[in-house]
Structures are given as C-alpha cells and as structure tokens.
Amino acid sequence: MPETNTKSDPFATSAANQDSLVLDIGDVEGDVYDPASELPPPGMYQATCIHVERKLSKNDKSYFSFTYSLVSPEAHAGIEVRDICMLSGKMKFKLGQTLAVFGIVAEGKKRIDFAKVINAPCNLLLKHRDWEGQMQIDVSKVLPYEAPEGGSPFASGAPTPPKTDDIPF
C-alpha cells in the first residue's frame, strides 16, 4: 500500500497505521441520523405508479414489484415506495385488486398491458412496519384516485389519517 500524506489529509491513514484512525468528533453538531425520520408518516397519499417489473424471489417465487412516486402532500412529493404482488398461492388476489384500481380486470388467463398502469394516479394507504429492527414504509392498500369535493384532501400539507371504520374490501 502506498504511503499517504497524513499532514494534508486529516482523514488519511499511513501505511504503518492502517487499522486505526483518531478523529475528534466531539464538536459535531446536529442530531444522530435516524432513517425512520425520513419516512413519510402513515396515512393516505396521492401517488402515481412509475414502474412495474416481474421478479423472482429468493425462493424462486414469481411476483410483480410496483413502484409508486408520492405526489401529494407536497412535503413528500417524489418519495418512491414499493409494493409487491405475489403470483402464487392465495396472494394472487392482491394483484387482481391492484390492477382493478387502474381499470384492468384480471380474470382467467389474460394478457395484461401494464403500460396502462404507468403514470396512472392512485391513492396509497401507507403504514410503518419494523423489519429486522429498522422502520420501513409499507403500502397497506392501493386505492382508486378520487378527488373529493372541495379540492384535494392533501391541501393542508398533511396526509389524511387512515379510516378505520370504512375499509373497502
């Protein structure tokens, strides 16, 4: 390993001292980084589907991965969230429900044109979940886009809270 000039680069290590580095980080300002703080809060969001891809899981199970971009509220616009729909077993119904949101009826054997899904608006009900000790965003439901009377429910900049008494099935 070439010798590094440690006088000009305070973060460089010399060849003789490759395994340790002494830094004074006592004057670092700010809070400790918390990835969960970047997650949008749980609630209802306007979004568009920007990508659909067929994939294989580690167990060789086929699924579709849907990528959505949040549109509103503006504070969270551009954040991408993903949802998967398995193609095997009892979980196939979720693919049918998701496609129905975009006006595609999936019954029996049928060729599905996923181009109709790309850039299509929808509403997403998002929640947080703990996965291996890390908080992540989870798409709880994909719902048809409906602009309520009087304008957008997202005009206040805050997501609308999930309804617990009126859940569509």
Domain count, the chain: 1
Report the alpha-carbon angle 147-153-155, nearest 5: 115
Are the C-beta atoms of residues 45 and 72 closer than 8 Å to each other?
Answer: yes
pLDDT per residue as tens digits for the range 55-111: 999 989 899 999 999 998 888 889 999 999 998 877 788 988 999 999 988 777 778
Residue 135 lies in a domain: yes
Residue 152 lies in a domain: no
Residue 64 lies in a domain: yes
Domain that holds residue 103: 46-144
Cα within 13 Å of Cα(89), Cβ side:
6
Looking at 71-167, list the stretches that DSSP marks H as alpha helix, in order from N- to C-terminal side: 92-101
Residue 7 lies in a domain: no
Residue 25 lies in a domain: no
Residue 104 lies in a domain: yes
pTM of the model: 0.66
The helix/strand/coil state of 70 is strand
The helix/strand/coil state of 166 is coil
